[in-house]
């Protein structure tokens, strides 16, 4: 069981302030200071420095934070494993983004359950930002995401490369044409919410081209990829989506693609788990199976 002062330290790392940490944990500010000093004395390093009204991590503080995040998550997994000793092992607990979770993973899971009928799997489908926070807290064992990640905290392995495509209705004047970005901006864009990997990559792509979402005539924010595809098919606007999430619709001609000059971009999806976790090998067989059974529509 990790020392309770570890949680105090990680909360200071998150909030950057002793007073806010004390309020969140129900402690006095002197108690927070005492907890940090205990850890500094234990490891004989300086962890935090005052930076205006906030606290800034030293190099040693950053390294210890990263290690404590992994240890805290592993401790939760240890508790789950011990509770399973005299009963059927619990399921793998994973997370995946909506693009993967709704359109790619069901095919893999179907084959996985056929190959391993006694194995359990709990998959949470959410946007990248929320998944990463749950992984750090030990609520997920691993995830599949296209978002960038801190290599000091996370270990990764490539899963697939996905092309980001501009999609429109077959009835749109843009259907199957090669156009400039300026021609796109005359249309309404239908986009995912902030925090999703698709939205983040689109924002960055537009920025690299010298544009932003404000260049479009209007924008709709919709959290469901399925709803976005339905709206686009009904010619309510255009969208950007990973090709694998729209394979069926492109194959059936209920959606059409638009070739946008300078906008052809491919992104890597990765298996991600906490670096140096003692449980990495436990996930390896699923990583191998998923990679081998990744297929297009």
Q: What share of the chain is helix, strand, coil (3-state, %, to 5)?
A: 45, 25, 30
Q: Do residues 171 and 211 both lie within one domain?
A: yes
Q: Do residues 42 and 180 both lie within one domain?
A: no
Number of domains in the chain: 3
In a domain, 10, yes or no: yes
For 212-231, what is each residue's pLDDT tens digit?
999 999 999 999 999 999 99
For residue 165, give the nearest of 214, 202, 195 by alpha carbon: 202
For residue 97, give the nearest of 121, 131, 122 by alpha carbon: 131
pLDDT of residue 253: 94
Average pLDDT for 42-64: 90
In a domain, 258, yes or no: yes
Higher-confidence position of 284 and 84? 284
Supply 83's token pair: 């509770």
Q: Do residues 114 and 201 both lie within one domain?
A: no
Q: What is the pTM of this model?
A: 0.66
Residue 51 structural domain: 4-81
Q: Do residues 167 and 259 both lie within one domain?
A: yes
Q: Do residues 285 and 190 both lie within one domain?
A: no
* Residue at a domain's end among 36, 57, 81: 81
Average pLDDT for 167-176: 95
Q: What is the CATH number of the domain that holds 126?
A: 3.40.190.10
Q: Do residues 185 and 245 both lie within one domain?
A: yes
Supply 39's token pair: 């850890």
pLDDT of residue 87: 60
Q: What is the CATH number of the domain that holds 76?
A: 1.10.10.10
In a domain, 225, yes or no: yes
pLDDT of residue 297: 41
Alpha-carbon distances of 49 from 45, 58, 120, rounded to whole Å: 12, 7, 46
CA–CA gap between residue 211 and residue 37 (Å, rounded): 48
């Amino acid at each position: 069981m990790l020392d309770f002062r570890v949680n105090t330290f990680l909360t200071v790392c998150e909030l950057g302030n002793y007073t806010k940490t004390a309020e969140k944990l129900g402690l006095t500010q002197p108690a927070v200071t005492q907890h940090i000093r205990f850890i500094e004395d234990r490891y004989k390093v300086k962890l935090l420095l005052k930076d205006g009204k906030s606290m800034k991590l030293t190099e040693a503080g950053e390294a210890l934070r990263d290690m404590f995040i992994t240890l805290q998550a592993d401790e939760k997994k240890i508790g789950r494993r011990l509770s399973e000793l005299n009963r059927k092992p619990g399921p793998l607990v994973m997370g995946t983004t909506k693009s993967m979770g709704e359109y790619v993973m069901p095919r893999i899971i179907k084959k996985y359950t056929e190959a391993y009928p006694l194995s359990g799997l709990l998959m949470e489908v959410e946007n990248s930002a929320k998944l990463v926070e749950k992984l750090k807290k030990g609520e997920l064992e691993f995830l599949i995401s296209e978002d960038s990640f801190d290599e000091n905290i996370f270990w990764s392995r490539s899963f697939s490369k996905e092309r980001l495509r501009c999609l429109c209705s077959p009835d749109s004047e843009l259907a199957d044409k090669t156009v400039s970005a300026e021609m796109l901006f005359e249309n309404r864009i239908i986009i995912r919410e902030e925090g999703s990997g698709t939205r983040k990559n689109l924002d960055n792509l537009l920025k690299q081209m010298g544009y932003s979402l404000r260049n479009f005539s209007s924008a709709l924010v919709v959290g469901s990829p399925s709803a976005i595809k339905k709206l686009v098919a009904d010619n309510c606007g255009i969208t950007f989506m990973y090709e694998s999430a729209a394979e069926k619709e492109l194959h059936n001609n209920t959606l059409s693609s638009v070739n946008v000059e300078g906008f052809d971009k491919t992104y890597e999806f990765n298996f991600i788990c906490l670096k140096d976790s003692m449980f990495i090998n436990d996930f390896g067989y699923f990583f191998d199976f998923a990679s081998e059974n990744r297929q297009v529509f």
